[in-house]
Structure 1
Amino acid sequence: MVGPPGTGKSLLASRMLALLPPLTEEEALEVASVYSVKGETLNAEKFMHRHLRSPHHTSSAIALIGGGSNPVPGEISLAHNGILFLDELPEFGRKALDVLREPLETGDVHISRASGSATYPANFQLIAAMNPSPTGDIDDNRLSPQQQLNYLNRLSGPLLDRIDIQVEVPRLPDYDLPIAKPSADDSMHRVRQEVADTRHIQLMRQGKPNAALSAGELAAICKVSEGDLRFLKAAAKQLNLSMRVFHRTLKVARTIADLHREEAVSRAHISEALGYRALDNLIKQLSSC
C-alpha cells in the first residue's frame, strides 16, 4: 500500500487478519511448534487464530529471517500461516528486505551457521505499507523527482516482482469525523464470507489457492482466450514486466474472476490486475521527469 501518512494503511493491514480463514489443527500445530522453538509464549485462547507480526523497520536481517549461534526462527517464521506486516517498507535495510525473496517463493527459510543448520516454515502473507516520498507526500514539493526516485530505489526489483498487488491509498478529500455505523460488522461478515467462498472455489477446482499455482498450470486454470492473451502479452511488453510478474498478474486476474464467479478470465479481469501495480507506475512516472 502506497500513500501519504494518515490515510489508513496500517488500519487496513490490521483488518486483513479478520478476512483470513481460521487455522486448521495442522496449521495451528505448525505455528505452535515455531513459537516453542523460539521460546515465545503462545496464548492458548488464540491457538486457532492466525497471527500478525509487525517488526519495526530498524529490525536486522537476522531478526527477520532468524539465526544466532544456535539458529532460531525469526519474524517471518513467527508469521507462518499468518501475516507479516512491514510498515515504512523502504526504511528497512536493503539486506533485511532481500532476505525475504527466498521464503516468498518457497514458503520456508534455510539458516546455516557454524554450529549447524535449520529449516523453518515461513509461509506468510506479506503486507507492506510505505509513503511515496521520504517527506511523506510526493506532492509537497519538498524534494526533486530524482530524490524521490532514490528513496523508492531502496526496494530492489526482484522484491517488487514478488509483491502481487500494489495499491495507492490516497488522502481523503474531506475532513469528516468518522461515524460508527451499525452495519459495519455485517459488512465485514459479508466480505469475510465472500473471501471464504472464493477460497472454497479455488480449493475445489485445483486443490490449492491461486497463489500456489505453478506456471505450467496457469493455461488450464485461467482459460484465457487468444485475443485476451495477446492483450496481456502486449501490455506486459509495454510495461516491461518480468516473466514472474506476468505469471503473478495472471493469478491475480484469475482471483478477480473467481470473486465475480466467472469461469474464464476476461480482458476486464486482466486490466484490473494490471492496474494493481501502483508502485511500478510511480517509479516509471518519476523516471520520466
Structure 2
Amino acid sequence: MLAKALSSALLGIDAVIVDVEVDIAQGLPQFATVGLPDGAVKESKDRVKSALKNSGYDFPPRKITVNLAPADLKKEGASFDLPISIGILAAIGVVKGERLKEYLLLGELSLDGSVKPVRGCLPVAVAARDAGLRGIVVPLENAPEGAVVEGIEVIGVSELAEVVEFLNGDRAIEPFRVNVEEFFARSAEVGDDFSEVKGQEHAKRALEVAAAGSHNIIMIGPPGSGKTMLSRRIPTILPRMSFEEAIETTKVYSVMGLLDRENALVAQRPFRSPHHTISDAGLIGGGNTPRPGEVSMANHGVLFLDELPEFKKHVLEVLRQPLEDGRVSISRALMSLTYPSRFMLVAAMNPCPCGFLGDANHSCSCTPVMIHRYRSRISGPLLDRIDLHIEVPAVKYRDLADRADSESSAAIAARVETCRNLQLERFKGTKVHCNAQMPPRMIKKFCEPDAAGHRLLEMVTDRLGLSARSYTRILKVARTIADLEASENIREQHLAEAIQYRSLDRKTS
C-alpha cells in the first residue's frame, strides 16, 4: 500500500515542495523515515503513532517506510507530523486520495491529535501558489500569515480529525481571509514623532536626507544629546512599505517563528537595535542550523547600532557584505543560504571614551592616544560605507525650554515620499529603488555635477584625501539633496551640503 502527500521544507526564507511518500508493507512492525531527516523529523514516528490512536484511528502494526523527497535536501522541524500521519491514513484507505494532490499539508501534532503551529507558513503559501496547488492545510494559528498570499486557499485546522474529514469531503472549512489593507493602516499609526525632539535642526535635516535616499548615517555626540531619540523616530519618516517589501520581510520573521495572529504581515518598516555584546552570527545570521540575523530582520527597515565602537571589531567587519550587496550568503557543508539584508544603517557613538570631547559644558578627560584608539575600533572601510557623518551637540537650554512643537514626522515623511517616488520613476525597469543603491554606471549617468561642483569636489577630495568610495557617497547624497529640491541637476550648494556630512573624514585627514 503506497500513498503520497505534499508538504514543504524551508531553504533560507523560501520553501521547497516535498513529496511525503508512505509505503506500508508486510513484515515486523517498524517505522523508518528516510530523505535526510533531522532529529525532530525522526522523532515524529512517536508523535504520529500516539496522535493517530488518540484520534480514534488504527495504527497499522506493519513495516512503514516514509520517504521525504527530494532526498538530498535536509528536512528539519516537526512540521512533517501532519503530512506523515495523513499519508499513513491514505495508505490504509481511511483518507481518499483526490484532494491530497491539491493541498499541501503542514503542522506539528500533539499526542492527543491536536495540530500545533509551526514556522515558515508564509513562504510555504507562496511556494504552493507558485506550484499551482489549490491550497494549503495549516494549523489555525498559522492561517493568518498564509492568508496574506492571494490566489490560494488557506485552510486552518486545530485537530487531526478535522483534516481527515476535510480531505474526504465530509466537512466544509472556509478558507481563511485577512484584510491586507488593515495591516498597512495599522502600521501608519505613529507612536514617536519628530515634533517631540527639541533643537537638533541640523541632525533632523541630515536624517531627512538619509531617509529620502536610504543612506547609511552615523551620529557623533556627547551622552544625552538625543542620538537614540532621533534614531528611534526614523521609521516614522520612511516611505510606506510596498506589498512586495512587506512579503519579503515577513518571510524572515515567519521562518524565525516570530509572527502571531494579530501581526501576520510586517507592514511597518522594522527597527532593530541589537546590544553591543552581539556575536557575528547573531548579527548577520548563521549557526549550526543557519538562521537569519539582525541584518535580515531589519530588511527594508532600520538597523540601529548604538555605541558603535563598543561592538567587537570582527563583528562590525562582517557588516561589509550586507551593506554593499543587500544580502547575506551563509555557506555550510551541506548547503548555502542567502538571506535578504537591504537595510538602512543608523549608528551612534560618542566623540571620545568619556563622551565630552568638544562639549562646552564638560571637560574631556581623554588623551589623544585614548581618542585615537577609541575611534580606530571603526575601520576605514566600514566608515567608507556610511554616507553621512553628522555631529549631534548637546541641546541648549533655550531649545529645551521652547514650548513650540517642532516639525512633525508626517510633514517630513511627505517630502521623503515625494523624493522616493522621483527616484522610483528614475530607476523604473531596474533593480535599483533609491539613490543609495546606484551602481557606478548610474552614478555616472545621474550624478554629474556642474562646472563649479567639479571644482569644489576636486579641492575637497585632494584636501581630505577621500577614497573613491567616499567620493561616490558624496555624489549619491548630493543627488538626494537635489531630489528633495526637485532639481534635475546637481548644483554646487547640493555638493557643499553633502560634503558637510563627512565630519569623520575631516577629523581623520
Shared fold (TM-score greater than 0.5)?
yes
Report deviation, 1:178.
5.1
Say which of 95, 105, 126 aligns to 2:314: 95
Secondary structure of 2:288 counterpart: coil
Residue 377 of structure 2 corresponds to 154
Scaled by the length of structure 2, the TM-score of the pair is: 0.53
**C-alpha distance in structure 2 between counterparts of 1:46 and 1:279, whole Å:** 39
Using the TM superposition, name which of 225-234 and 131-140 deviates more.
Answer: 225-234
Report deviation, 1:39.
2.5
**C-alpha distance in structure 1 between counterparts of 2:287 and 2:232, whole Å:** 30
Aligned length, in residue pairs: 282
**C-alpha distance in structure 2 between counterparts of 1:187 and 1:69, whole Å:** 46
Residue 193 of structure 1 corresponds to 414
User: Is the contact made by 2:250 and 2:265 (CA closer than 8 Å) also made in structure 1?
Assistant: no
Residues 234-255 of structure 1, C-alpha deviations (whole Å, 9 max, x = no match)? 3112111111111110010111
User: Is the contact made by 1:71 and 1:116 (CA closer than 8 Å) also made in structure 2?
Assistant: no
2:247 aligned with 1:29, yes or no?
yes
Pair 1:35–1:103, CA change in 2 (3 A): same
User: Is the contact made by 1:149 and 1:283 (CA closer than 8 Å) also made in structure 2?
Assistant: no
Residue 204 of structure 1 corresponds to 425
User: Is the contact made by 1:110 and 1:118 (CA closer than 8 Å) also made in structure 2?
Assistant: yes
2:394 aligned with 1:171, yes or no?
yes
Pair 1:71–1:260, CA change in 2 (3 A): same
Q: Which portions of structure 1, spanning 4 or more consecutive aligned residues, are displaced by more than 3 angstroms? A: 175-181
**C-alpha distance in structure 1 between counterparts of 2:264 and 2:338, whole Å:** 28
Using the TM superposition, name which of 111-120 and 165-174 deviates more.
Answer: 111-120
Using the TM superposition, name which of 261-270 and 7-16 deviates more.
Answer: 261-270
User: Is the contact made by 1:138 and 1:148 (CA closer than 8 Å) also made in structure 2?
Assistant: no
**C-alpha distance in structure 2 between counterparts of 1:22 and 1:263, whole Å:** 24
Percentage of matched positions with identical amino acids: 45
The one-letter code sitting in structure 1 at the alignment partner of 2:293 is: G
2:336 aligned with 1:104, yes or no?
no
Say which of 217, 230, 238 aligns to 2:442: 217
**C-alpha distance in structure 2 between counterparts of 1:141 and 1:125, whole Å:** 32
User: Is the contact made by 1:20 and 1:192 (CA closer than 8 Å) also made in structure 2?
Assistant: yes
Secondary structure of 1:202 counterpart: helix
**Higher helix proportion, which one?**
1
**Higher strand proportion, which one?**
2
Report deviation, 1:145.
1.4
Residue 120 of structure 1 corresponds to 339
**C-alpha distance in structure 1 between counterparts of 2:472 and 2:364, whole Å:** 37
The one-letter code sitting in structure 2 at the alignment partner of 1:122 is: S
Computed over aligned residues only, the root mean square deviation of the Cα atoms, in angstroms, reads 1.8
Residue 70 of structure 1 corresponds to 289
Unmatched 5+ stretches in structure 2: 1-218
Secondary structure of 1:44 counterpart: coil
Report deviation, 1:13.
0.4
Unmatched 5+ stretches in structure 1: 285-289
Report deviation, 1:278.
1.6
Structure whose alpha-carbon radius of gyration is higher? 2
The one-letter code sitting in structure 2 at the alignment partner of 1:168 is: E
**C-alpha distance in structure 1 between counterparts of 2:242 and 2:270, whole Å:** 13
User: Is the contact made by 1:134 and 1:148 (CA closer than 8 Å) also made in structure 2?
Assistant: yes
The one-letter code sitting in structure 2 at the alignment partner of 1:235 is: V
Say which of 224, 235, 241 aligns to 2:466: 241
User: Is the contact made by 2:355 and 2:364 (CA closer than 8 Å) also made in structure 1?
Assistant: no
Secondary structure of 2:220 counterpart: coil
Report deviation, 1:121.
0.3
2:227 aligned with 1:2, yes or no?
no
**C-alpha distance in structure 1 between counterparts of 2:252 and 2:264, whole Å:** 17
Residue 456 of structure 2 corresponds to 231
Report deviation, 1:230.
3.1
User: Is the contact made by 1:135 and 1:142 (CA closer than 8 Å) also made in structure 2?
Assistant: yes
Pair 1:219–1:36, CA change in 2 (3 A): same
Report deviation, 1:149.
1.1
Secondary structure of 1:167 counterpart: strand
Secondary structure of 1:34 counterpart: helix
User: Is the contact made by 1:4 and 1:131 (CA closer than 8 Å) also made in structure 2?
Assistant: yes
Secondary structure of 2:239 counterpart: coil
The one-letter code sitting in structure 2 at the alignment partner of 1:170 is: P
Residues 208-259 of structure 1, C-alpha deviations (whole Å, 9 max, x = no match)? 3111211112232124223422321231121111111111100101111111
